[in-house]
Amino acid sequence: MSLLIKAEHISHQFAQTEVLNNVSLEIHSGEIVTLIGPNGAGKSTLLKILLNLLQPTAGKVTRRSDLNIGFMPQKIQIDPTFPMTVGNFLNLGRPKRNNDTNGWKRFFNFSAHDTTEIQEVIDELNIRHLLNQPIQKVSGGQMQRILLARALIREPNLLVLDEPVQGVDLQGQTELYHYINELRKRRNLGILMVSHDLHIVMRNTDQVLCLNQHLCCSGTPQTVSQTPEFIAIFGQAGNELALYEHHHDHDQCDMAHGHHHAHSTSDKE
Amino acid sequence: MDWFPDFLLFALFGGLGIAIISAPLGVFMVWQRQSYFGATLAHSALLGVSMGLFLEMDLSFSVILFALIIAFGIHQLSQKTQLSSDTLLGILAHSSLALGLALLSLQNTVQIDIMGYLFGDILSVTSTDLMLISMVGLITLVFYLFHWRDLLNITLNPELAQVEGVHVKAIQLQYVLLLALMIALSMKIVGVLLVTSLLIIPAAAARRFAQTPEAMLLYSMILGIVSVVLGLGTSMTWDIPTGPAIVLVATALFLLMLIKKAPN
């Protein structure tokens, strides 16, 4: 587990409004980190800072020298006047290599996506039948798979996914998360995922960071879901989450017991 | 070619040059929904004429210089301000046009043909203009050879492009400066009020036939060339001003293309 990216004491302000306050985090290879938080918690700002799209007001981000980020944006609006097939879109995501093709073809993007790696991703994500379609015509779920494929084409060592299952049906969500988890194991990828939907993602996550301007809690899904801060922000979601836990740890039992005890005392009076 | 006078040859070459340069700039203007930006740039280009007269500079030079300065200014401004860029551009377009016209009218020492700048005076194209157009054409070619993919990726999603290693801001600025150059040079051909149409109409007309960005660029270039040639012919035959004639031909071609069913 080598360190890919490390953020230390990040704070950020827009105009006079504080958006992030003293946030620190680390992502290692082979690790899935999920960033959760309500709307306006500063999730996208933190993401932009990590992606080097934005300089934080204070704090420092250190990146491993060979860090190669595959980024999957939340959504992507493509003007209907832009003639772009899915295949062409994926092709444009290939990293520039000077020895890629010879001569003038190197300048435009005529070269076909032919490396086996890319073909593999296309098949695994089941988007081969879409390659010749205009990208404006694909459905939300298909678009998410295409965006993930594009992020993977760069053969990244860190995958940054902004709300990856947005617009994907429940069945598709499970499949997508399963695939991402497979990737992590197979390619030893570090994965940072942003989500405000906690229900499925958390099972495979190594670390959950709960953001609300500052990091209010962090840890494994099991521990985070039990912290008072988490429950204060996500309320009922915390309870639903417990459905995915087959085994309860001692902390939770203690808390439940304590609560019950207090309740029964008040009953007696 | 005795029957074909020099000034017409200059007009033809100038028009063809501008048609070819405007195709790569125009397609991105359409894809990125920047047509209003182009219009603003064009409107403010008249300031270059006024300032050139005011400072007693060479007019071609001052138009290019001020177009570049204004393009840079608008580009910076649109990245910083909170005002919706639509509103901002609307204010800038017309205030700068008004300022340009006001300053022009104050130059009482020279008689200047304002109509020529507003709607073009293609017959006044000189060999210097042709040289400038060739130079800008060359710069455009080099820029696009190196940054075609980058520009496509910026059009798809600037943030994704930047994460993938494209120098988004630098390339966008270069594009805008190139646009300013093209607008400055096409003032004589179609005039400041009609420049944007030369950028947008051929590109829009090419859309339905193109399945790839490269094809759209090619078709748009062909349509631009056809518009200029037929426009010049129309202008000569029926004695209409050349700028409007070129734009009308382009519009006619656009309407003709609408007949083709939209691709699915």
Residue A231 confidence (pLDDT) above 90: no
Q: In angstroms, rounded to a whole number, what is the distance separating the alpha carbons of residues B102 and B47?
A: 10
Residue A215 confidence (pLDDT) above 90: no
| Max avg pLDDT among B34-38, B61-65, B213-217 | B213-217
| Max avg pLDDT among A207-211, B14-18, B43-47 | B14-18
- Rounded mean pLDDT of chain B? 87
Q: By C-alpha distance, which of B33, B74, B63, B48 is closest to B196?
A: B33
Residue B143 confidence (pLDDT) above 80: yes
Query: CB distance from A92 to chain B under 8 Å?
Result: yes
- Provide, as residue numbers in chain B, all residues whose Cβ is less than 8 Å from the Cβ of A108: 148-149, 214
The predicted pLDDT at position A97 comes to 58
Residue B54 confidence (pLDDT) above 90: no
The yes/no answer on whether domain B6-258 falls in CATH 1.10.3470.10 is: yes
For residue B210, give both structure tokens.
């193109």
Minimal C-alpha gap between B47 and chain A (Å): 32
Confidence of residue B230 (pLDDT cuts 50, 70, 90): very high
Which of B142, B155, B156 is most worth mutating to test chain A (most A CB atoms within 10 A of its CB)?
A: B156
Q: In angstroms, rounded to a whole number, what is the distance separating the alpha carbons of residues B100 and B112?
A: 13
Tens of pLDDT, residues A184-211: 888 889 999 988 766 666 677 888 888 8
Across the interface, of B148, B159, B264, the residue whose CB is closest to A73 is B159
- Provide, as residue numbers in chain A, all residues whose Cβ is less than 8 Å from the Cβ of B211: 83, 85
The predicted pLDDT at position A269 comes to 35
The rounded percent of chain B whose pLDDT value lies above 90 is: 43
Query: CB distance from A109 to chain B under 8 Å?
Result: yes
The predicted pLDDT at position B219 comes to 95
Which of A77, A82, A86, A111 is most worth mutating to test chain B (most B CB atoms within 10 A of its CB)?
A: A82
Instruction: List CB contacts of B263: < 8 A, sequence separation 6 or more.
Output: A134, B208, B211
Q: In angstroms, rounded to a whole number, what is the distance separating the alpha carbons of residues A180 and A197?
A: 16
- Provide, as residue numbers in chain B, all residues whose Cβ is less than 8 Å from the Cβ of A53: 159, 162-163
Would the CB atoms of B210 and A137 count as touching at under 8 Å? no
- Provide, as residue numbers in chain B, all residues whose Cβ is less than 8 Å from the Cβ of A79: 30-33, 155
Confidence of residue B84 (pLDDT cuts 50, 70, 90): low
Q: In angstroms, rounded to a whole number, what is the distance separating the alpha carbons of residues B216 and B211?
A: 7
Would the CB atoms of A92 and B149 count as touching at under 8 Å? yes
Minimal C-alpha gap between B121 and chain A (Å): 32
Would the CB atoms of B160 and A71 count as touching at under 8 Å? yes
Higher per-residue pLDDT: B250 or A16: B250
pTM: 0.84
Average pLDDT (B219-236) is 93
Q: Are A145 and A161 in contact (CB under 8 A)?
A: no
Domain boundaries, chain B: 6-258
Q: Please state at what angle helix B213-238 crosses helix B195-206, rounded to 10 degrees.
A: 130
Q: In angstroms, rounded to a whole number, what is the distance separating the alpha carbons of residues B242 and B231?
A: 7
Nearest chain B Cα to A72, which residue? B160
Q: In angstroms, rounded to a whole number, what is the distance separating the alpha carbons of residues A8 and A49?
A: 11
Residue A177 confidence (pLDDT) above 60: yes
- Provide, as residue numbers in chain A, all residues whose Cβ is less than 8 Å from the Cβ of B163: 51-53, 69, 71, 160
| Max avg pLDDT among A6-20, A193-207, B127-141, B249-263 | B127-141
Nearest chain A Cα to B264, which residue? A134
Residue A66 confidence (pLDDT) above 50: yes
The predicted pLDDT at position A263 comes to 37
Count of other CB atoms within 10 angstroms of residue A181:
15
Residue A10 confidence (pLDDT) above 50: yes
Residue A122 confidence (pLDDT) above 60: yes
Minimal C-alpha gap between A216 and chain B (Å): 28
Mind giving me the DSSP string for chain B? -TTS-HHHHHHHHHHHHHHHHHHHHHHHHHHTT-HHHHHHHHHHTHHHHHHHHHTT--HHHHHHHHHHHHHHHHHHHHHH-SS-HHHHHHHHHHHHHHHHHHHHHH--SS---HHHHHH--GGG--HHHHHHHHHHHHHHHHHHHHHHHHHHHHHH-HHHHHHTT--HHHHHHHHHHHHHHHHHHHHHHH-TTTHHHHHHHHHHHHGGG-SSHHHHHHHHHHHHHHHHHHHHHHHHHHT--HHHHHHHHHHHHHHHHHTSPPP-
The predicted pLDDT at position B137 comes to 94
Domains of chain A, start order: 1-68+156-269 (3.40.50.300), 77-155 (no CATH)
Confidence of residue B263 (pLDDT cuts 50, 70, 90): low
Query: CB distance from A95 to chain B under 8 Å?
Result: yes
- Provide, as residue numbers in chain A, all residues whose Cβ is less than 8 Å from the Cβ of B165: 95-96
Strands A3-14 and A17-28: antiparallel
The predicted pLDDT at position A14 comes to 85
Residue type, B163: V
The verdict on ipTM greater than 0.95 is no
Nearest chain A Cα to B146, which residue? A107
Q: Are B129 and B187 in contact (CB under 8 A)?
A: no
Residue B251 confidence (pLDDT) above 90: yes
The predicted pLDDT at position B200 comes to 94
- Provide, as residue numbers in chain B, all residues whose Cβ is less than 8 Å from the Cβ of A78: 156
Higher per-residue pLDDT: A233 or A140: A140
Would the CB atoms of A88 and B212 count as touching at under 8 Å? yes
The predicted pLDDT at position A95 comes to 78
Across the interface, of B30, B156, B207, the residue whose CB is closest to A76 is B156
- Provide, as residue numbers in chain B, all residues whose Cβ is less than 8 Å from the Cβ of A54: none
The predicted pLDDT at position B162 comes to 92
Number of H helices, E strands in chain A: 9, 9
Q: In what order do the strands lie in the sheet with A207-212?
A: A69-72, A158-162, A190-195, A32-36, A207-212, A214-219
Q: Is A70 helix (H, G, I), strand (E, B) or coil?
A: strand
A-B Cβ pairs (cutoff 8 Å, strict): 75
Residues in B lying within 8 Å of A, measured between beta carbons: 30-33, 145-146, 148-149, 152-153, 155-157, 159-160, 162-165, 203-204, 207, 210-216, 263-264
Instruction: List CB contacts of A189: < 8 A, sequence separation 6 or more.
Output: A29, A30, A156, A157, A158, A159, A183
- Provide, as residue numbers in chain B, all residues whose Cβ is less than 8 Å from the Cβ of A83: 207, 210-213, 215-216
Average pLDDT (B232-244) is 88
Residue B166 confidence (pLDDT) above 80: yes
- Provide, as residue numbers in chain B, all residues whose Cβ is less than 8 Å from the Cβ of A89: 156
Across the interface, of A84, A89, A93, the residue whose CB is closest to B164 is A93
